Amino acid sequence: MSWYLGYFIIYFSFLFGMGFYYFFKVKSSEDYLIAGWNMGFWSIVGTIISTFCGAAVFIGWVGMGFNVGMSGFFKFALPAYLFSILLVLLFAKPLRRQRLFTLADLFSERFGSRLGIFPSILSAFIYSVPTLALQIVGMSTVFKWAFGIEFTWGILLSFGLILAFTILGGLPATIITDAVQAVILVVGIILLFGASLNYGGGFSEILEKTSDEYLTPLGNAGLSGVLLFALSVGPFYIIWQSTWQRIFASKTEKVAQTAGLTALIIGLFISIFPYAIGVISRQFVPADMNPDEIFSYVTVDMLPPALGGIILIGLLSALMTGADSFILQGSSNLTNDLYHRLVNPEANNRELMIVSRISVVVISVLGLIVAYLITDIITMYQWALRLSAVTLVIPFLAVMFWKGVTKRAVFISMITSAVVTVIWPYLETSWNETLVGFGVSLVTVVGISLITSHSESEKIKAVYFEDFERAKIKSNNSYSA
């Protein structure tokens, strides 16, 4: 235990040292929430890797590997990274040019402030709060296995540490510490994989003792099962605000794209290891163990504290960076989308800083409440992803590529697809709710846009082609002159 305690003290001393440093350095809400749009290549690489590797990765994906095998990688991790790469390749540059804070900002700029309310609420409460709760639960699991702290007190301790760090430093402290934490978590997960492999008897023995269903890409789900699961997860990452925040925080469009692609390729490689660890652990972990506790069990029971402590710090790094990123995502929604745009458009910098930190507390407390209610990390995370994706992906693509999309069509699409996705499983049909949700979203966006007119509050433009149109106008003006 002394090894664990020493590692934890060093880690949190570094973390809060950076938090206090940025507490006195950060002077505006722009710096606090979006790092002043001024972060460099390696800072963005580190923070994207760290943000991707939260509770769902280190805890949920290890448990998923234990339950379903390597098919979990093809169901969850691979589509998440592929869609994220698509986001960075296609949209990093045009999004960075907008100099926005949130996804809801994009809708507010295009259709007027009020339309941004729904995606803002969805991002803050349907996604940020539950995913923050996952990180809190993950940290409490670490404290339980390392120090024997009971679940209730572990939740409170995790909540306090996360809230204190986030209030102090905001996104700048998060991004800078993420760069260091990314190295720790990469080393940690590779060390744990190596230790698991050794403990399981090596590749040949593991392959011999492991059923084929846990080693094949499709497992028992079949191609259709894997594809449907992937579709319920992957598209969300096109509109994942945590990645958007990193795009906005980059100091140039080139940094946003190159750093994003570098981080995602590294992250894709890392993501194989949690599933492999889960599969290997079937050789020596009790079959009835809670899958969400396998990571900590393997680390604490298999490894000497000197090595296990490093891996637990890697896990804590992933959980802390995920937690403060999700808090700041929700805080940006409440501060910029709701308060600044709707309640007090004339708010000065001091007022916005106060609201930013108050909203950090609000999101954190809600996450604490949900943390006590969580029973299944992967299922809850998947539902948050599914509902966000079917509600926002089609409207987002329409805003980027189609001038003809109207405010009324987007609003009806968001509401209708969300309601249908929630109630569809209770109808007990053979149709998948994700496919139905996307279908409803597409039909309503296109159909209603074709029969309605643009409102006065709209700025009629296709964001993706905006720069091409400006260049064309400039060229025509030069020719006329």
User: By three-state DSSP, how is residue 26 classified?
Assistant: coil
In a domain, 395, yes or no: no
In a domain, 450, yes or no: no
Least confident interval from 19-33, 125-139, 212-226, 451-465: 19-33
DSSP 178-201: HHHHHHHHHHHHHHHHHHHHHHTT
Render pLDDT for 359-377 as a digit per residue (tens, 0 to 9): 989 999 999 998 887 666 5
Confirm if 178 and 51 have CB atoms less than 8 A apart.
yes
Q: State if pTM tops 0.85.
A: no
In a domain, 193, yes or no: yes
CATH number for the domain harbouring residue 157: 1.20.1730.10
Backbone conformation region of residue 148, classed left if phi is above 0, alpha if psi is from -120 to 50, else beta: left
Closest CA to 329 of 372, 374, 362, 378: 362
> What pLDDT, on the 0 to 100 scale, is given for residue 316?
80
What angle, 0 to 180 degrees and rounded to 10, lies between the N-to-C axes of helices 41-52 and 241-249? 170
Judged on CB neighbours under 10 Å (0-12, 13-18, 19+), 60 is: buried
* Total domains present in the chain: 1
Confirm if 295 and 59 have CB atoms less than 8 A apart.
yes
**CB environment 402-424: b (16+ within 10 A), e (fewer):** eeebbbbbbbbbbebbbebbeeb
What is the mean pLDDT of the segment spanning 6-14?
86
Residue found by looking up tokens 């109808």 in the block: 427
In a domain, 172, yes or no: yes
Render pLDDT for 389-419 as a digit per residue (tens, 0 to 9): 899 999 999 999 999 999 999 999 999 999 9
In a domain, 386, yes or no: no
Residue 229 has pLDDT above 90, yes or no: no
Q: Angle at CA 386, nearest 5°, toward 382 and 387?
A: 120
Distances (CA, A) of 371 to 131, 140, 158, 359: 9, 10, 10, 18
In a domain, 463, yes or no: no
Grade residue 281 by pLDDT with cuts at 50, 70 and 90: confident
Please give the backbone phi and psi of residue 19, each rounded to the nearest 5 degrees, phi first. Answer: -60, -45
Determine the structural domain holding residue 44 and report its residue range: 2-379
DSSP 329-355: HHHHIIIIIIIIIII-TT--HHHHHHH
Residue 85 has pLDDT above 50, yes or no: yes
Give the rounded distance of the alpha carbon of 36 from its chain centre: 21
In a domain, 479, yes or no: no
In a domain, 473, yes or no: no
